[in-house]
Structure 1
Amino acid sequence: MNSALTAEAAAALEEGINLVLSRWTAFRMAVENEWGGRDSLQKSQKLGSHLFLLLSQSKEKVYIDDVENLLDEFMLNLNTVIEDGSIEEVAEKLMIMHEECSEGNFDSVNRLKEAKAPIVSYVKKPANDNEDDSGEDEEDDDEIAIKGDEACEMEVDEPQSRINGGSTEDGWTVVASKNNRRRRN
């Protein structure tokens, strides 16, 4: 069972959660580039609130797996798959911060406040206003994967029905592989 936090500890924990999230590169990229849609910023604010409620008001003991699952589900809602170990790292930081705050120790929050936020370079896909559809390597839909310290764009093939009048089976669209699509064109 979680011990109740003092008002000062709760405020410090909430600030610490927001600082940790604001320094998480994958999270920032997903939010700033709106990978979860136009409401990505609102979704990110909800994550901070959910984490705070989980860590400060849960009636049962909160385990690191609970925090990891919440972070993973959130990133999936932003159409982002995280494979760089950062979910586990962020969850661990949050758990340590919660434990310290519950003991009246705000050192980790103070260190975050004093540390400069890392400078992060973001890649934003340019608008396709004046492009034609003649290039085979052009991407119509993008899906972003985070692996290691870099983001990469992965090509997602167009549904066959939009390419060659493909078939739909049980609500699923059959998609031709890129090699099969080139042979047909």
Structure 2
Amino acid sequence: MEPSRQLSAGAVPIFREGILLTLSKWWALQMAVVQEWGGRNSALIAEQLGQDVLSWFTQSKEPLYIDDLEQILENGLMSLNTMEEDGSTEEVAEKLMILHEECLDGNFTSIQKLREASAMEAGHSRISKVVDDEDEDCSDTDESMEMAVDAPENRPCRAPEIVMVKEPKPAQAVDPDGWTVVGSKKNKGRKK
């Protein structure tokens, strides 16, 4: 029996990142962490799962079988009081096995794609946070604001820029005596 190939010293940290990025997209695991189904230490348990997976790939002297990896992933979920029934454990295991094979060959393209996807997701969550904050800030003002997002395609890894666009104020009415009629802030937005 031929011994399994080992990752180069330079490939190990990149592969570790690939494991963490893959696990961060695993819905069942992330839900268990966010909801703390494994208790207050749920995030630490998930981190330990990532370490266990990395150790399995890097320390094993025997050939690597996907069934063994699936068992590690299932045990990780069980430690978070979680069971999945959607087949995602097998999908995650398969993705990790493919990443490992690519890293053995010095191919880090899939990990780069995971990085870019993760950066885009982080950018979108920051944009929605800014939009939510702006909605709160603008609720007491006379001027209405509209958010416009500009995401040039020549900057794929940077978060999109946020540009504020002011809508023009409606023309104010002038009564016959020359006075400008201003609506009350108190009644603005309320129906009578």
Percent of aligned positions that are identical: 49
CA contact (8 A) 1:2 1:56 kept: no
Spell out, residue by residue over 1:13-38, the C-alpha distance to the aligned partner (whole angstroms, 9 max, x if none). 10000000011111101011110111
Q: With structure 2 as the length reference, what TM-score do the two structures score?
A: 0.60
Cα distance between partner residues in 1 of 2:7 and 2:82:
33
- Counterpart for residue 15 of structure 1: 17
Is structure 2 residue 113 aligned with structure 1 residue 111? Answer: yes
Which structure shows the higher strand fraction? Answer: 1
Task: Please state how far the C-alpha of 1:76 moved relative to its aligned partner.
Answer: 1.1
1:82 to 2:47 alignment: no
Task: Report which structure shows greater RCO (CA 8 Å, sep ≥6).
Answer: 1
Question: 1:5: which partner in 2?
Answer: 7
Question: How far 1:2 moved relative to its partner?
Answer: 2.3
Runs of 4+ in structure 1 deviating by more than 2 angstroms, as ranges, are 116-120
1:100 corresponds in structure 2 to: 102
- The aligned amino acid for 1:3 is R
Question: Is 1:23–1:117's contact at 8 Å kept on the other side of the alignment?
Answer: no
Measured in 2, the distance between the counterparts of 1:2 and 1:94 equals 16
In the comparison of the two structures, how many residue pairs are matched? 120
In structure 2, the residue matched to 1:156 is none
Residue 148 of structure 2 is matched in structure 1 by none
Which runs of no fewer than 5 residues in structure 2 stay unpaired? 126-192
Deviations 1:95-151 (A, max 9, x none): 00000001101011111001134989xxxxxxxxxxxxxxxxxxxxxxxxxxxxxxx
**Quick one: distance in 1 between partners of 2:73 and 2:100?**
16
CA distance in 2, matches of 1:25, 1:102: 27
| Matching residue of 1:28 | 30
Give the secondary-structure state (helix, strand or coil) at the position aligned to 2:101: helix
Provide the residue aligned with 1:48 in structure 2.
50
- Note if contact 1:13-1:97 (Cα within 8 Å) is conserved in structure 2: yes
How big is the alpha-carbon RMSD for the aligned residues of Structure 1 and Structure 2? Answer: 1.7
Take 2:32 and 2:105, find their aligned partners in 1: how far apart are those partners?
Answer: 33
- Assess if the C-alpha contact under 8 Å between 1:2 and 1:57 holds in 2: no
Conservation of the 8 A alpha-carbon contact between 1:17 and 1:94: yes
Residues 46-93 of structure 1: per-residue CA shift (max 9 Å, x gap)? 101000010122111111101100111111111111000110000000
TM-score of the pair, normalised by structure 1: 0.62
C-alpha distance in structure 1 between counterparts of 2:96 and 2:76, whole Å:
15
Question: Which of these two proteins has the greater Rg computed from alpha carbons?
Answer: 2
Tell me by how many angstroms 1:41 deviates: 1.0
**Structure 1: 5+ residue stretches without partners:** 121-185
